[in-house]
Amino acid sequence: MSQKVLLNSKEVNIILHRLACQLIEKHLDFSNTILIGIQPRGTFLAERLKILLEQEYKIEKIALGYLDITFFRDDFRRTDKPLEANKTLINFLVEGKKVIFIDDVLYTGRSIRAALTAIQSFGRPSAIELLVLIDRRFSRDLPIQPDYRGRQVDAINNEKVKVSWVENDGEDAVFLVTTT
C-alpha cells in the first residue's frame, strides 16, 4: 500500500476559503440557505465552512445540520458487518429553503442519492446544491455532479482518496492511497 499527498494543510485551507467565497457569491447572507453535512465525514467540512463564513466573512446565523444516510443507502443490506448509524441533527425547517449538501469525497454518487431521499423526511427544499472537497470524476454510478468542488481527482479503482481533518485525524490533508 502506498500513499501520495494530494493536498497539504495550506492547500486545504486555500480551497476552503475559495469554497466559502463561492458560497457567498451565490447565497449572500444565507438567510434562506442551510448547510447540511453528510454524516460522518462531511460534517468536518461543513463545520469548517460555517466557522470560516462566520468568523472570516462575518456572515451571521448560518444554519448547520447533520444528516445520517446509513439506512437510506441502496447497499446497506449488502454487507455482513453491523451498521453503525450516526446522528441526524436538523433542528430547523427545511421546507422552502435552499439546502447545500456538504461531503468530503464524491465518488459513485450513491451517498448523495441517499441524502436526497433522507432530506425529504424534513420537508421539501426549494433547491439542493452539492459541495464536495474532492470530486472523483471517474467511477460515477449515478448522474450526480457537484455545484462546488475543491479539487477534481482522477483515481482508478484500486486507489482510494482519504481526507484527514485536524479535528479527527490530527492534520488537514488529502491522500491518494493505492492498494495492490
Per-residue confidence in pLDDT tens, the chain, 180 aa: 899 999 999 999 999 999 999 999 999 999 999 999 999 999 999 999 999 999 999 999 999 999 999 878 666 555 666 667 788 899 998 999 999 999 999 999 999 999 999 999 999 999 999 999 999 988 888 999 999 999 999 888 789 999 999 999 999 999 999 987
**pTM of the prediction?**
0.93
Beta bridge partners of 148: 131
Using CA atoms, how far apart are residues 144 and 85, in angstroms rounded to an integer? Answer: 24
Using CA atoms, how far apart are residues 36 and 63, in angstroms rounded to an integer? Answer: 8
Q: Which amino acid is at 50?
A: K
Beta bridge partners of 64: 35
Tell me, what's the pLDDT at 27? 97
Tell me, what's the pLDDT at 76? 57
Angle at which helices 9-27 and 42-51 pack, to 10 degrees?
70
